[in-house]
Structure 1
Amino acid sequence: MAAPQPLAVTRAATTEQQETGGAGGVRTRRAVRVLLFLAAVALPCLVVYHYRAVAPADVLVRRGAAAVPSRLGAPRDDDVDLDGEDARLERVLRGAAMANDTVILTTLNAAWSEPGSVLELFLESFRTGDSTRELLDHLVIVSLDTAAHARCKLVHRHCFALVTGGVDFSGQKNFMTDGYLKMMWRRIDFLRQVLEKGFSFIFTDTDIVWFRNPLPHFYPDGDFQIACDHFTGDPDDLSNAPNGGFAYVRSNTETIEFYRFWYAAREKHPGLHDQDVLNAIKRDPYVAELGVKVKFLSTELFGGLCEPSRNMSRVCTMHANCCIGLRRKISDLNAMLQDWRRFMALPRHYKHSVSWTVPRHCSLQKLEG
């Protein structure tokens, strides 16, 4: 029996498709496979590109008109902080605080932060002092301009940038110039903020060299304790001449209100710096009403060029006060460190014979000439 014709036709049609239209089908399938391969390769690249386009490494955090790129995987820089200045300050203080929430603070501008300037001598004193190196872990350098802040981050762990709109604090600020006064009052207002956050502090000017830990020498009953240009011998005597370059202040309601009052008093005493205004208000009835316990620190322990400590076996700090001019300060601070190294190198029974060789360039005769 003959095979049905339709089957032969069907087979013939199939063979023809393979010889003619089938070639186009093969090309189509190959093209599809190529496209699928390219898609498989391209898709991850597109994903990576998309992630890269929005990754944190390229996010611009805007502060005013400036745009600063943050770095992927790097610690959050305190210059690029979405939390704001208040949160930055809290974080820096917390990172530097001692167990009793006490920090050491100093302020710095560009002129004092350059290599070979005051900052290097200040930090070196902590490293060469008697049991003072560990205090560097609790020191916060408060930078008053961007150059000082950049320098701080190169040489120290705890840095805080204090921004003051419309004021340039970067240059040398000579005593009693307009820039100097603005810088001093900005400092007083900042210290009030630190107290309000619950942190007690030791404030130290950067032109002070540290030789011993001062904490054991503060009065247990003093809220506000301040160094002197001249010390009468009585820590409670309001006739002492205070120097705002070194102070220990406990955080409590009395000291917070005291700093508010001190800062506000600048308006009643225009043209005076913080130290002179302090002298003007220390006998004010309102200060007595506040109940803040004021103590003045002996120059034997906390000396300076105005009144040098006479006991190198007890001195904690020495201040390049009563000295005008950055170069003069640097010279005499260097001399203080040399005197200290000489003292520390001597056998114990010879130490009593060592005395300061300063002031040299900061002597009153040279200042007047």
Structure 2
Amino acid sequence: MHFEFTEEQKMIRQAAKDFARNECLPGVIERDEKQQFPKEQVMKLAELGFMGMMVSPDYGGSGMDTVSYVLAMEEISKIDASVSVCMSVNNSLVCWGLEAYGSEEQKKKYLTPLAQGTKDGELYIGAFLLSEPEAGSDATSQRTTAEEMDDHYLLNGTKNWITNGSSASVYLVIAQTDVSKGSRGINVFIVEKNSPGVTVAAKENKLGIRGSDTHSILFTDVKVPKENRIAEDGFGFKFAMRTLAGGRIGIASQALGIASGAYELALGYSKQRRAFGTEIMNHQIIQFKLADMATRIEASRLLCMKAAWEKDQNLDYTMSSSMAKVYASETAMWTTTEAVQIHGGYGFVKEYHVERLMRDAKITQIYEGTSEVQRIVISRSILK
């Protein structure tokens, strides 16, 4: 066992750090206030090869490992989680699922431009459509239906909380094709956003990651060609669960980055702010806060790296990804709250960034499986 990164991994981390500082930091507060999708930043991520990091070069990807992906996600999330969640969804939920289970024709048509992040000079990214008004944590309760016709499926239903909802060109849609079969009657379909019958509802006004475009998507008699179903009939639920297991590594890395960003700001502030005749870093109560932050962040990082390593080694990473996500997300929420506290009144105003990181941290405990769901996954793994 060793803890050294390769030279390539170090270069990727530095490239991500430079990108975050130079491209994401300018205007991040304004984008948050205006709920502005960071299109320019995402386009530049595509130029770096970060929108299809783990996809084979055969399909336009960068062919990197999951550890490199975690390193990049952490650095970008330190600055702007709205950018990193767009990157996470495209990498973990869309590209990975297509490469792992899509047909050769589907990969050539959809995966290649998705991995490159652009098509004909325009942004080209994906979205993963699982959650519904009554099917969030309970993913088996799908109300969206896909009725099989002669040469197509007829898709009807509503999907909620969709990241990249209006910016995506391609949706991976989980839908029920046979209610009598329960979870075995669920399939996954590739749906183009510009298909007749697809409606993008208004953008959600969110607490955090406000630059990310989160929408409900409505389907009304949308014709989906049969060749756009991924894998065999009834594979949709397994597709969703396996894809989400990898997605949790991305969100754990996002949470890690948010926590790390808040910690670095708090540490820097503690060296400048004076109270009772000395810098506040000299007060034991602040020292202990910083010590606990650093310890929890390092533990989160190790959990993320273990899950990433297991994925790269083709091992079962279901439990480790859930452990990484639940611990890193709770660390992010706790660390950002403490960072605001260390900043005092300044932590409550936008220009010091920590209040935004605190708002962004909360969603990491919710999306791609709540903390409660992660504990179910972990307990099932250790009790089987």
Above 0.5 in TM-score? no
Higher relative contact order (CA 8 A, sep 6+): 2
Q: Return the index of the structure with the highest Cα Rg.
A: 1
What is the TM-score with the length of structure 2 in the denominator?
Answer: 0.25
Choose between structure 1 and 2: higher helix proportion: 2
What is the TM-score with the length of structure 1 in the denominator?
Answer: 0.25
